[in-house]
């Protein structure tokens, strides 16, 4: 389904784009990266490595191997990732950083979820993600 003339999404595929982040509004960027973060966290909650890393850059996917993800998920003292609230968006020359307030199912604590998104081979990908 078309997002706009420069950004498209096909069913089950990552977003592709020919427009650099610098030319997009903050809201347009959030609209593009939210589904990638949804997929990443859903994959983590489900223990589904392929889903979790689907939108990762090759660099990040090489770090988060199946064994690495399994070891991260061995204990879940915070429960599962639940809702999140947008906090801020930071622009760099070749990427955007997004920060959310992340909530989990088993605790009332608030976590920081931050991710760096890049455009690589005309796709928006996650190059870094950390929840702490």
Q: What is the mean pLDDT of each run of 10 residues along the chain (132 residues)?
A: 41 57 92 97 97 98 97 92 97 94 97 97 95 94
**What's the CA gap between 18 and 8, in Å, rounded?**
9
Q: What is the pLDDT of residue 16?
A: 53
Q: pTM for this one?
A: 0.85
Q: What is the pLDDT of residue 2?
A: 33
């Amino acid at each position: 389904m078309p997002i706009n003339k420069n950004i498209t999404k096909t069913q089950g595929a990552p977003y592709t784009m020919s427009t650099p982040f610098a030319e997009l509004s903050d809201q347009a960027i959030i609209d593009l990266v939210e589904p990638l973060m949804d997929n990443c966290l859903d994959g983590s909650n489900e223990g589904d490595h392929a889903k979790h890393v689907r939108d990762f850059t090759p660099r990040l996917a090489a770090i988060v191997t199946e064994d690495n993800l399994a070891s991260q998920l061995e204990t879940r003292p915070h429960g599962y990732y639940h809702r999140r609230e947008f906090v801020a968006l930071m622009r760099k020359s070749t990427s955007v950083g997004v920060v959310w307030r992340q909530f989990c199912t088993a605790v009332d604590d608030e976590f920081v979820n931050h991710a760096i998104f890049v455009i690589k081979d005309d796709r928006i990908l996650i190059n870094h993600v950390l929840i702490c």
